[in-house]
Structure 1
Amino acid sequence: MSDKIYFNTSKKFSFKKKMVNLTTRAHHKLAPNHAKRTAKKLLLTPVRSKPKNAEPKGLIISEVSTSEGVLKTYRVGTGPVWLLTHGWSGTASQFFPLMEHIASKGYTALAYDHPAHGQSEGAYGHIPAFVGGLEGLLDSEEEVAGLVGHSMGTAAAIECKHAKLQDKPLLLIAPVLDYLDNLFGSVARSGYSMRLFEAVVDDIQNQYHYPITSIDPYNKLGRRTAPTMIVHDEKDRFTKYSVSEKAAKEMPLVTLITTQGQGHGRVMHSDEAKAAFDTLTS
């Protein structure tokens, strides 16, 4: 259900949107605790997508215990480890074609399903859970050479403060660098009660001691000291290409590769994404 909210880009007036606003506001006013429980289930429950691609030859499927539960991992290749972190309602399988390319270049590609995604444990998905899961993966590896992220997974990667990731190169595919504007804008366009949404957010930030106002991928990317390659489709409907373009202009360590006709998902296994990886590792 949450996909219909977060991936709704329509700005047109909708009677349905108006009714959603009226009913969620009334629910929150009349039964605030029940409304918050309902909203949490609706807004923080990603779709558990089925595998998108065939498994690479030699794929090793395993598990890692983290603070966010047991996460399913997918490893192929040998050599230095590159982590791959998917986006909202995605799965590690979206990366399988790119993982094959990474393995062919003499590296280990290690992807995983985020909490509440794919085959991993967990009921709810949000940035604090994404970061906690990523930290658990980093704890389980002796060393990593770099990270590939897609969509919301890019925000979690930039937010992550783990020492093993601080000086490592990043490949960001269709990144969501304006995370807060993207999140609140998507909910507002759906018509959902913003006051109710803010109450859910408040519970999460208190539970994790993670103020939502501290989530700032754009400026944190600008403070990184390792190179970053961004691959973004000019017509991406879900994350703003213009923000990636701005980052590449303002940040000397950020390079943008623009794609055409790849959208938000297909770009993950585009030739441009593979070329960007080759550039980062050359």
Structure 2
Amino acid sequence: MSLSLSAAGAAVRVAGSISPRWGAAVALPMFGHVARPRPVGVAELPTMWSASRSTVRIPGLARAGADVVVYDWGHGDEVVVLVHGWNGRASQFAVLVRELVAEGYRVVAFDAPAHGDSGGRSTYLIDWTDVLAEVQCRHGRLRAVVGHSFGGLAGLVAGAGGLAAERVVTIAAPADADLLLAQFQGMLRYGDSTAAALRTRFAERYFPGESDPFARLSPVARPLPSGVSLLAVHDEADRVVPFGELARVAGANPGARLVTTRGYGHNRVLEADVVLDAVLEFVGESVAPASAVSTALSESAA
């Protein structure tokens, strides 16, 4: 554990020992804080340089407005939106961008607030779904939304909330927002009473008047509508989002197509040939699958 993380955990635990609500008050700003943006990889630079850039404005964490950088490649009416995860950025999809553009799709991606080239230091899940709604306003019905990790969770939440997309692809996605709170508690090692108070404080701060926003943010409680097809991908060696989340996503969406890989972990799975092939096939199908198809593919990393 880093010194900064250790100090943060100690601060929350000390405050929580006095009062769980005090502990939650100290923890809440940390929960939405994002580390400094990861750099664009050298191999990703040509793809990012070739993008058309624009911005969309969303309310943002403070509800004072936030500008989000959006990237656009290719042409045509069939739009595929790529959604990165927490501490990620759009450039992580560079290989998939090139593959989709080669197949004739228009591809859109963005850097969420506090990520990549977008400003800010804090964010939360609704920022992702707000950006997707703005992209929807620009392009109309979407061919597919492909989300990695936290971005996969956002795609599921947005799809359940009415985003007009024919298909959703999740790669290494958590099944609901509760996992994020549990992982945050595990990192900072504060007690259950502080955890319960943080959950309450989060709901009161960002969803005033809503009795249980976590139910709305749970793809387990609110699966995709029947007309939206789902491809869910996860690597058995994922050390960030447990592999068991795949079964939870699938359990809530019985018609999902499942792909498992072995040896790629949480991030390299985005460039695995087996995953790229599965995504291209799924996005390119002229008719959405009508019944459940479960495919287990194992491929070791080179």
1:253 has 2:258 as partner? no
Query: In structure 2, what is the equivalent of residue 220 of structure 1?
Result: 222
Tell me how far 1:40 sits from its aligned partner.
3.1
Q: Which moved more, 1:130-139 or 1:264-273?
A: 130-139
Q: Cα–Cα, structure 1 residues 124 and 37, in superposed 2: closer, same or farther, change >3 Å?
A: farther
Equivalent residues of 2:168, 2:231 under 8 A apart: yes
Deviates more, 1:36-45 or 1:96-105: 36-45
Aligned to 1:65: 57
Letter in 2 for 1:39: A
* Distance in 1, Cα, partners of 2:9 & 2:88: 28
Are residues 1:186 and 2:195 paired? no
Whole-Å separation in 1 of the counterparts to 2:180 and 2:192: 11
User: Who is 1:41 aligned against?
Assistant: 29
Q: What is the distance in 1 between the residues matched to 2:224 and 2:136?
A: 22
Structure 1 residue aligned with 2:265: 263
User: Which of 64, 86, 89 is the matching residue for 1:88?
Assistant: 86
Structure 2 counterpart of 1:51? 40
Mapped contact 1:74–1:110 kept (Cα < 8 A)? yes
1:234-275 deviation per Cα after TM superposition (whole angstroms, max 9, x unaligned) = 121122223314544774420111111111001112212221
Asked which structure has the greater RCO (Cα within 8 Å, sep 6+), the reply is 1
Larger CA deviation: 136-145 vs 199-208: 199-208
CA distance in 2 between counterparts of 1:251 and 1:215 reads 15
Q: What is residue 9 of structure 1 aligned with on the other side?
A: none
246, 271, 276: which one pairs with 1:274? 276
| Equivalent residues of 1:66, 1:137 under 8 A apart | no
1:67 partner letter: P
Residues 20, 90 of structure 1: alpha-carbon distance in 2 compared, 3 angstrom cutoff: closer
Indicate the residue corresponding to 1:75 in structure 2. 72
- Structure 1 stretch displaced more, 26-35 or 39-48: 26-35
TM-score normalised per structure 1 = 0.81
- Figure out how many residues of one structure are paired with residues of the other and give that number: 267
Name the residue aligned to 2:297.
Answer: none
- C-alpha displacement of 1:124: 1.7
Paired position in structure 2 for 1:172? 170
Which residues of structure 2 form unaligned runs of 5+?
Answer: 61-65, 286-302
One-letter code aligned to 1:65: R
TM-score (norm 2): 0.76
Identical pairs, percent: 24
2:13 alignment partner AA: R
Query: 1:39: Cα distance to partner?
Result: 2.5
Task: Report the CA distance shift for 1:260/1:85 in structure 2 as closer, same or farther (over 3 A).
Answer: same
Distance of 1:115 and 1:194 partners within structure 2: 30
Q: Distance between the aligned counterparts of 2:250 and 2:196, measured in 1? A: 32
1:103-155 deviation per Cα after TM superposition (whole angstroms, max 9, x unaligned): 11100111101122122233322222322232233223233211000101111
- Aligned partner of 1:120 in structure 2 is 118
Deviations along 1:17-65, one digit per CA (max 9) or x if unpaired, are xx87664232245598886564333221112222232231632122111
Aligned partners of 1:131, 1:93: CA distance in 2, in Å? 19
Secondary structure in 2 matching 1:145: strand
Q: Which moved more, 1:220-229 or 1:87-96?
A: 220-229
Q: Give 3-state SS (helix, strand or coil) of 1:212's partner.
A: helix
What is the aligned partner in structure 2 of residue 25 from structure 1? 13
Moved more, 243-252 or 51-60: 243-252
* Inter-CA distance 171–241: structure 2 relative to 1 (3 Å threshold): same
Provide the residue aligned with 1:11 in structure 2: none
Matched residue type, 2:204: N
Match of 1:152 in 2: 150
Alpha carbons 2:250, 2:258 under 8 Å: kept? yes
Residues 196-207 of structure 1 aligned to structure 2 (within 5 Å): 196-207=194-205
- Which residue number corresponds to residue 229 of structure 1? 231
User: How much is the aligned-residue C-alpha RMSD, in angstroms?
Assistant: 3.0
Instruction: Answer whether contact 1:46 1:124 (CA < 8 A) is retained.
Output: yes
Unpaired stretches in structure 1, ≥5 consecutive residues = 6-15
